Amino acid sequence: MGVTSEAAGAGVTVVTIDFPPVNAIGAQGWFELADTLLAAGRDPATHVVVLRATGRGFCAGVDIKELRAGGAEALIGVNRGCHGAFGAVYDCAVPVIVAAHGFCLGGGIGLAGNADVVVAATGTTFGLPEVDRGALGAATHLARLVPQHLLRTLYYTARTVAAEELHRYGSVYRVVARDELDAAALELAREIAAKDPLVIRRAKEAINGIDGQNVHRSYRFEQGFTFELNLAGVGEAAR
């Protein structure tokens, strides 16, 4: 249980999220994920990272039980951990392919939205339940998956959108049967990994360099409103 990393051959490293039953991740888990992703990128033997998960879904976001029990200290830890993990996907020196199944919610959107490529199992749902939890965040990352007006609708209503719709927008590269998901992610990863590794690393750096949005700063801005809502008592009441 936790975050594991293993070589899958041909320059591919597979990072797996495993926090049963729904991959709701606590502060330490987010930091662990960040460290694992960055370490994989620093390894010259890694040309591509596949980020996947076990269990019922890819990620249900933060561990609400930890927030309920830990108060302000837990909130600070989770927020900093999420910022670190989302940023690690973006800053990883090699491309990161997210393989999502079941559901990709809250913090899962932060991971998928910052990924280089997303593949998903049939029927996977994506969304941000933050408004219903008295918190805000990851609109920065949802905006990288859906058009602006749909982003606002999904954010205000806490509704979800299916992988099939995201595929039509081009933000999900492929939608495959659940039992084909790992193979589909590895197939793409190995295709990229076969390229000159130095070129691919510079390509990742170049694409990040021309990005029109500073994902680190915009997400940190969003998190400020989560702290405000918590101080106002709204966040705790919702949780």
Say what the pLDDT of residue 141 is: 98
48-53, strands of its sheet edge to edge: 2-7, 12-18, 48-53, 96-100, 117-121, 174-176
Ordered by start, the domain boundaries in the chain are: 2-177+210-238
Model confidence pLDDT, tens digit, residues 78-94:
999 999 999 999 999 99
Judging by beta carbons within 10 Å of its beta carbon (0-12, 13-18, 19+), is residue 118 exposed, middle or buried?
buried
Instruction: Kindly give the pairing relationship between strand 125-127 and strand 160-162.
Output: antiparallel
Say what the pLDDT of residue 68 is: 79
Q: Enumerate residues 6+ apart whose C-beta is below 8 A from 86.
A: 107, 110, 111, 113, 114, 138, 141, 215, 219
Pick from 101, 103, 107: nearest CA to 120: 101
CATH 3.30.365.10 fits 2-177+210-238, yes or no: no
Model confidence pLDDT, tens digit, residues 154-176:
999 999 999 999 999 999 999 99
pLDDT beneath 50: ranges in the chain: none
Q: What is the pTM of this model?
A: 0.96
